[in-house]
Homo-oligomer: A and B are copies of this chain.
């Protein structure tokens, strides 16, 4: 029995299929010593406030939460009234992948998807939508918020100047800005920016800071830049059932994630694996990359029979239909796995 046959075929369906990074699991175990005040009054959670403030080079408020959906929905509820409109890209996670969580948490705001290119919303598209939004007309929901995903749902990133241009439009119309950073680490790793340079320095009011996809067990954070949103956030989170009684174990994940640059090491690795995969696949006949591969997601066109053979062989991928697949690398994906995947794709083509 050869090595390839023995190993489980690599699962690239999502970065969610990966487990917990060893450092983070160790932090959970370490946090298990003794008792600790509940509901976030523990010392680890207290330290997080400083850790994030240092990381972002400004005083910010952090609410640890356990799912990305909750993080996004809480963030939106802080910046959009029930009669508000929230603009996002038409592939935005808050629009089509969260079962209406944004509508729920905001009390029924309207999420307005706008056509994106390569996953990125364009300033002109946003401006055109706002121009006809009927501001002041009581029959129309009122523009309130802009939601941007960084990295995007198509594996691309917004560069700082692109963010500036978008936020400038948002500001012209009084919108507040939310960044869905489910893959924020991958974006930072790709762009080499300071976290502040992709967020509040660009005008982002509230950030969904993801860690789960990049090695945590279940840990995200709503990060608000500015004091006045912190109070509502704490109560909205509790009311949403998002405040853990044993919060130290969520906070410990985030602490370990940020310690000694672990988050960026993990993200750089995942990005590198995606680049390796992209290089391998694009060299194969009949396979075409659909978007630039800027972080850890690959969108590719490939023959439907090949897709089916890969699935039958046990490889994990997301079949988007119409001969298109999504492949996502994680912190734990190995070069050997990538190579095995590419080899299989060559063999099964």
Residues of A within 8 A of B (CB): 8, 11, 13-14, 16-20, 25, 28-29, 31-40, 65-74, 81-83, 96-101, 103-111, 132, 138-142, 212-213, 217-218, 232, 234-246, 249-250, 316, 321
Smallest beta-carbon distance A217→chain B, Å:
5
Say whether A35 contacts B239, CB under 8 Å: no
Smallest beta-carbon distance A167→chain B, Å:
23
Nearest-CB residue, chain B, relative to A9: B35
Say whether A139 contacts B25, CB under 8 Å: no
Say whether B249 contacts A316, CB under 8 Å: no
Task: For the complex of A and B, list the 4 residue pairs with the smallest distance between their C-beta atoms, beginning with the closest.
Answer: A70-B241, A103-B108, A16-B38, A138-B238
Known: A8-B34, A242-B70. A110 touches B100 (CB 8 A): yes
Say whether B239 contacts A39, CB under 8 Å: no
Say whether B138 contacts A243, CB under 8 Å: yes
Smallest beta-carbon distance A71→chain B, Å:
7
Say whether A99 contacts B140, CB under 8 Å: yes
Which residue of the partner chain, among B108, B246, B250, contacts A19 with CB atoms under 8 Å?
Answer: B246
Say whether B240 contacts A104, CB under 8 Å: yes
Smallest beta-carbon distance A220→chain B, Å:
9
Bound: A241/B244 CA distance, A: 13
Write 8 A-B pairs (CB below 8 A) sorted by A numbering. Answer: A16-B38, A17-B38, A25-B32, A83-B99, A98-B238, A98-B241, A141-B235, A212-B246
Bound: A111/B141 CA distance, A: 13
Nearest-CB residue, chain B, relative to A68: B245
Taking CB atoms, residues of chain B closer than 8 Å to A98 are 139, 238-239, 241
Taking CB atoms, residues of chain B closer than 8 Å to A245 are 14, 16, 67-68, 212-213, 218
Bound: A236/B16 CA distance, A: 21
Say whether B20 contacts A36, CB under 8 Å: no
